[in-house]
Amino acid sequence: MEKRRLYRSQQNRIIGGVCGGLSDYFGWDPTLVRVVFAMLVLAGGNGLLLYLLLWILTPLEPAGM
């Protein structure tokens, strides 16, 4: 069984690839993940902090994946 890893997406990115990486990892639509982050930002700003932390801590997807 292959171990899944969370990466920031290189193909499906708008800013840092965090939402694209999360959508690849969980098998969700990237637009849904972006809308959830936007709602979190508008609901108090915690979404922005979470996005920045994930951007810093999540490695970039290796080439060829």
Residues 42-59: what's their mean pLDDT? Answer: 91
- Residues 22-46 have a mean pLDDT of 92
pTM comes to 0.86
Domain count, the chain: 1
Within a domain: residue 32? Answer: yes
Q: To the nearest whole percent, how much of the chain has pLDDT over 70?
A: 98
Residue 62 falls within a domain, yes or no? no
Task: Identify the pLDDT of residue 16.
Answer: 92
- 21-49 burial, b for 16+ CB within 10 Å, e for fewer? bbbbeeeeebeebbeebeebeeeeeebee
Cα angle 33, 30, 8; round to 5: 90
Query: Is 47 within a domain?
Result: yes
CA distance 58 to 54: 5
| Cα–Cα distance, 11 to 61 (Å, whole number) | 9
pLDDT at 1 over 80: no
Q: Average pLDDT for residues 5-9, to the nearest whole number?
A: 93
Q: Residue 47, SS3?
A: helix
Q: What is the pLDDT of residue 3?
A: 85
